């Protein structure tokens, strides 16, 4: 597995990361814990060193799973987690945004405990909180870095102005945003700004939340616990219309012995700064199938 240095930072990670959200949250019922532990171990065996989680995934249970499963590999892997949501009174689904400095510190302390680490490798603001100046957010993370509780600061789905303001207070190591063959919005202004500032890019959902695998069509049904059931891109009409993209990926892959998913992962936009793609398979078979490289033509 090739390595990438995120932007101008000293954080070096595998070119392909593993997003762990779907193991515990959003993509249907939580998966079997032992199976997910085996999947995480298999990813490490195949060279993955970058894993993504968040307190809100579960909530809490995904961080616990990732922390316990990766404990044998301390020092060999980097774990990113996130802050920025206010959870419901019963600890259930989020009730809003909360990036107040005191809350950031609370989340950091709790995440350190659940992950079983002394330092969080990469601490993202999960979503920009319009009620809290980004300078205050960056300042709070800067203090955590100075205390040795966090190594690197990241943002997620932030705009260019927000990125610049945060970066002026505490260098931003990476931005995480959705980016794939069917969602290329970051190319307009975000990617050029990241390149200018020397900030890494961690695109999530490079497989279009599973659609670009070619494993679903207009007849695919999602349970209520799968958040795609409420996304416009996953209505039957939308999936039928977008199937032409999957068919194109299949045609491109046919001569290389590659699946649509492998072609989608192999694609990258020219001009992207140091980046790592974060994807989230939920079975060891899916991980093996998509992490293998297509053969050269």
Spell out where 20-119 has E strands.
50-52, 78-83, 85-87, 94-97
Task: Decide: helix, strand or coil at residue 112.
Answer: helix
| Catalytically active residues, by annotation | 57
- pLDDT of res. 89: 72
Query: What are the domain boundaries of the chain?
Result: 3-207+269-289
Q: Which CATH superfamily is domain 3-207+269-289 in?
A: NADP-dependent oxidoreductase domain (3.20.20.100)
- pLDDT of res. 297: 43
Which residue in 54, 55, 44, 57 sits closest to 16, CA to CA? 44
pLDDT tens, per residue, the chain with 297 residues: 899 999 999 999 999 999 999 999 999 999 999 999 999 999 999 999 999 999 999 999 999 999 999 999 999 999 999 999 998 776 666 789 999 999 999 999 999 999 999 999 999 999 999 999 999 999 999 999 999 999 999 999 999 999 999 999 999 999 999 999 999 999 999 999 999 999 999 999 999 999 999 999 999 999 999 999 999 999 999 999 999 999 999 999 999 999 999 999 988 754 455 667 665 565 555 555 555 655 544
User: Cis omega (within 30 of 0) on the bond before 163?
Assistant: no
Kindly give, in sequence order, each residue whose CB lies less than 8 Å from that of residue 74, ignoring residues fewer than 6 positions away.
117
């Amino acid at each position: 597995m090739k390595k990438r240095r995120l932007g101008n930072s000293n954080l070096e990670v595998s070119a392909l990361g593993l997003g762990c959200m779907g193991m515990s949250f959003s993509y249907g019922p939580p998966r079997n814990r032992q199976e997910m532990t085996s999947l995480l171990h298999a990813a490490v065996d195949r060279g993955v060193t970058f894993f993504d989680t968040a307190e809100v995934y579960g909530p809490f249970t995904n961080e616990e799973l990732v922390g316990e499963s990766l404990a044998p590999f301390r020092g060999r892997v980097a774990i990113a987690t996130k802050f920025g949501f206010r959870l419901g009174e019963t600890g259930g689904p989020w009730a809003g945004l909360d990036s107040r400095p005191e809350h950031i510190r609370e989340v950091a302390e709790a995440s350190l405990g659940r992950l079983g680490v002394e330092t969080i490798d990469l601490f993202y603001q999960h979503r920009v909180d319009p009620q809290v100046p980004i300078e205050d957010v960056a300042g709070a993370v800067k203090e955590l870095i100075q205390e040795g509780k966090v190594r690197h600061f990241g943002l997620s789905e932030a705009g260019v102005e927000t990125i610049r303001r945060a970066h002026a207070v505490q260098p931003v190591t990476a931005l995480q945003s959705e980016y794939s063959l069917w969602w290329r919005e970051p190319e307009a202004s975000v990617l050029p700004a990241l390149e200018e500032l020397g900030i890494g890019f961690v695109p999530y959902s490079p497989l279009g939340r599973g659609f670009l695998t070619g494993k679903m069509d207009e007849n695919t049904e999602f349970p209520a616990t799968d958040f795609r059931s409420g996304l416009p891109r996953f209505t039957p009409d939308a999936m039928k219309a977008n199937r032409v993209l999957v068919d194109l990926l299949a045609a491109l892959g046919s001569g290389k012995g590659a699946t649509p998913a492998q072609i989608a992962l192999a694609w990258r936009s020219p001009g992207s700064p140091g980046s790592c793609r974060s994807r989230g398979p939920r079975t060891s078979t899916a991980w093996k199938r998509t992490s293998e490289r297509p053969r050269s033509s």
